[in-house]
Structure 1
């Protein structure tokens, strides 16, 4: 059994997918980019603010499902340039207090709307 998670606190999907899907006690969160849900604008002032917006979007989806960052077990970070890694890593790390999730970080040629960072996550409760 699966439940579609959708919140107005995170950007609406820009394609045929859901913000997240809850299957049992596992939450699968689609890749989030730096779209501000309120304005609909991209937040691209710096790689730091872009990453913060991505993490805030993840936080909104987690919250809508009754989860938090402490429930994340796996993330995938997609970067347009691996040179952004140190800043992205610092911002990303600030959202976790301990027991960091498993993760991979990959550089890709292009991301949706030509952003610099996209992050997806899997969270578990129980």
Structure 2
């Protein structure tokens, strides 16, 4: 059975948990959600910093860090944003980097939201 990890991020009124642990893994997904529940829709750099900071918070709540992450899936609405997201990514992850896939999608759930990530980490 999955255990919900209390992350401290706001409820968005949707049926999901910010992070869960099951089978020795932590599963978490994030976007540019501010502490008040509003969505950052500014520059891709601002969205990426907030998104990866939310990931860091979720990992810390599980007693983990980015070195424990095995895979990251990145969803972008603009292919031209890859380089900027990579620059922010390097502030949170160091070699050897986790396995990663980047996918460009038509849209995300909130207009103006250009980034969403999913990460899988090994629990301790």
Q: TM-score, normalised by structure 2?
A: 0.91
Q: Mean Cα displacement is larger for which, 15-24 or 111-120?
A: 15-24
In the TM superposition, residue 14 of structure 1 has moved relative to its aligned partner by 4.3
Name the counterpart of 1:4: 4
Once the two structures are superposed, the pairs formed by residues 19-98 of structure 1 within 5 Å of their partners are 19-30=18-29, 32-37=30-35, 39-98=36-95
Is 1:125 equivalent to 2:119 in the alignment?
A: no
1:11 touches 1:57 (CA, 8 Å); kept in 2? no
Off by >3 Å, runs of 4+ in structure 1: none
In the TM superposition, residue 11 of structure 1 has moved relative to its aligned partner by 3.7
* Number of positions where the alignment pairs a residue of Structure 1 with one of Structure 2: 123
In the TM superposition, residue 12 of structure 1 has moved relative to its aligned partner by 2.5
Mark the runs of 5 or more structure 1 residues left unpaired by the alignment. none
Q: TM-score, normalised by structure 1?
A: 0.89
Cα RMSD between the aligned structures? 1.4
Mark the runs of 5 or more structure 2 residues left unpaired by the alignment. none
List per-residue Cα deviations over 1:6-28 (Å, max 9, x = no partner): 222x3424421111110132101
